[in-house]
Structure 1
């Protein structure tokens, strides 16, 4: 019989939160100078600038009619003698592509993805609204469907963010914590799983989340919403014994081994000055919020969770603003109560499920988790049809064997290519290859930038 363990004693202290904010700010504030070859127009009288965000980018420098995207490529193939786009031509904001992938976890996958973007109303300061959907099936029987949106009404008076997911899923599991060995009991060692032995959890997963923000000052929004996370028919591929991380955690914190619900209220504050939601050249995005899981809403347990998200974009060149250093810090902390094992904060548990390239979803997780990343984005072709990125990230989490948040860090790094699918919305096809520790590496395919 696995003994009960007090969840409250591992709750994060104020000092730990402050430490996380300080470390995140140090990372976000990192200003390592970068030099790149910049082609300067012969008749210009302006000089280039490195990391000078006080100088506004001129509209003609980011005119999408001078760029080349997938639509142009298809047009050139089908209509080779057609005249180039005029400056006044309005491009479609919708991109549809096949969703094809293959790896040992999911088998071979086939499906379809679509992403759309447009500005609502006539106010030129209105931020771009985006929406995406995907449906896919794999040879291992995984079915996945989602719809998500981030909509700004005219003049940015309201912002609506939400998603809907329905899936027959396989979730990889490598234990709790940050991969740190311990000298505790057999149960503690199995939960921490320092060797990162992989297991798979099969389940039916449903998620509905919707948040509504009201702009109270320029770029500053306050909002509230709801989130319902439901898993049913949870099974494991490891039935040799009961000392699996999922079973240990679920038994210790009073969750059923075959189903759960994590339903709660959301309260957030958001600030944004990004020039584009898909691929920002400059600006800030910041969000801080509380989640209150409530049993009266059907949640298996009550819990309070605090989450922060901070992103900063530096254009390295006034003349070529697509040279960008992008910085990201995301943290999530259980302040009280308990959340189900598969809902613990961790790798790729951010709202877009894009953090931690180099590792699978949930590879590291704990009741407290913090993530930082730096990425350099640069054009490869002058027409911006092909671009490149190089990135590095760090993760830290606590465990239930004495390892504290910020005590151990695990790195990831890699590089990738970007294919411009839609110049009107700066929608990219992202192809990244990343490496981590414990022999982790892999190919990551996605639409739009990671952050």
Structure 2
């Protein structure tokens, strides 16, 4: 049977940014074997949107298998540091490490930022009939308020494999927001202020610290760019004041992903499905920790809308994407996608009652064939005139 794109022979035949640079600066000299190439992929980070201004920085992704394939999944790490014309400084470091034989899995991240948080209101953009404060909170026209502040996050989870593909895990997450203020409209009443005052939260700072308990099942063939398999994770988060959380809360999260390869010869033809949800069982979550658009672990959901565009105490999101190769050497590929989301607002609109769609298409540029790392460039649009260009490393899910 012929080797397909999952095999090492196909990896060698693939063409990435490293090959392009080699061809330009070292023409005529032999290429290094793919398996000996660096698993580290650095790249500049350039972006723009009205909330943050123009952004420049550096990103890097690393991938390495720490045991014997196929019995050990690839471990990956990523980091980024950037600054914008509006004075935003953002740094993060994340990792997803599998020890030999997948006996243990370590997932974590560290974030430190002087940033702005766009505030579009609570819920899914549904109109409400209530007090002036409730109308401000629902913000049915999605008027944007921009809250400046500092954000720090530390998260670490440890999973133990209890049987093939099944892991149980526990960890901790610490979220700190400080010096929160709307510098442009310091006297305006914002949805964030209304929500915080209703729930007895200070408007300039809070902490959201909790314990994490997770059950994970995974059969996907690759962490960066899966062609086949399933990833599922169900989690329980318990915020407790005795470990510094401003409020107590119990929250359930679910994350399900399924990948179907449509061709044995060209497995890059993939239909991918993603569902992510979060549900408040009890207690109070601070406003900017409510689940919503782009609030998944990697901040990639809801292409077409800004992070936090829709949010609620309960949130449900689904997306389907078709991925396909463009060039025979795998250097360029493309995607088309459609997503839909719903949230409650505790003002009369319940979960699943109103939906907001978005969709678009994108280009993928292969940066490192050994680790299937690519640059994702997507254009997406949704309701309320929302649209934009979304850049990132690796697939969205």
Query: TM-score with structure 2 length normalisation?
Result: 0.97
2:41: which partner in 1?
95
Partner residue in 2 for 1:225:
171
SS in 2 for 1:187: helix
What is the aligned partner in structure 2 of residue 393 from structure 1? 339
Unaligned runs of 5+ in 1: 1-43, 47-55
Return 180-189 or 380-389, whichever deviates more: 180-189
Match of 2:394 in 1: 448
- The 8 Å contact of residues 100 and 109 in structure 1, kept in 2 or not, is answered as yes
Q: Using the alignment, how far apart are the partners of 1:146 and 1:58 within structure 2?
A: 32
Of 365, 382, 392, 1:436 maps to 382
Distance 2:201 2:16 in 1: 49
Q: 1:53 corresponds to which residue?
A: none
Find the aligned partners of 1:123 and 1:107 in 2 and give their Cα distance: 44
Give the equivalent residue in structure 2 for 1:49.
none
SS at match of 2:242: helix
Q: Output the CA distance in 2 between the equivalents of 1:130 and 1:58.
A: 21
The aligned runs of 1:25-424 (5 Å cut-off) are: 59-60=6-7, 63-86=10-33, 89-122=35-68, 124-237=70-183, 239=185, 241=187, 243-424=189-370
Q: Residue 154 of structure 1: CA displacement? A: 0.5
Question: 1:99 aligns to what SS in structure 2?
Answer: strand
- 3-state SS of 1:371 partner: strand
- Contact 1:65/1:85, CA 8 A, preserved across alignment: no
Q: Root-mean-square deviation (CA), in Å? A: 1.6
Choose between structure 1 and 2: higher strand proportion.
Answer: 2
Q: CA deviation at 1:240?
A: 6.6
Distance 1:405 1:238, change over 3 A: farther
Larger Cα Rg: Structure 1 or Structure 2? 1
Q: Is the 8 A contact 2:16 2:366 kept in 1?
A: yes
Q: CA deviation at 1:184?
A: 1.5
Contact 1:190 1:245 in 2 (8 A): yes
Q: Number of aligned pairs?
A: 397
Measured against aligned partners, the alpha-carbon deviations of 1:178-201 in whole angstroms (never above 9, x if no partner) come to: 000011221111100001001101
Cα contact 1:123–1:154 (8 A) shared by 2: no
> Deviation above 2 Å: which 4+ runs of structure 1?
56-63, 83-87, 121-124, 237-243
Residues 170 and 86 of structure 1, relative CA distance in 2, 3 Å threshold: closer
SS at the partner of 2:208? Answer: strand
Corresponding residue number in structure 2 for 1:25 = none
- Normalised by the length of structure 1, the TM-score is 0.86
Aligned-pair CA distance for 1:400: 2.0
Counterparts of 2:69 and 2:373 in 1: how far apart (Å)? 22
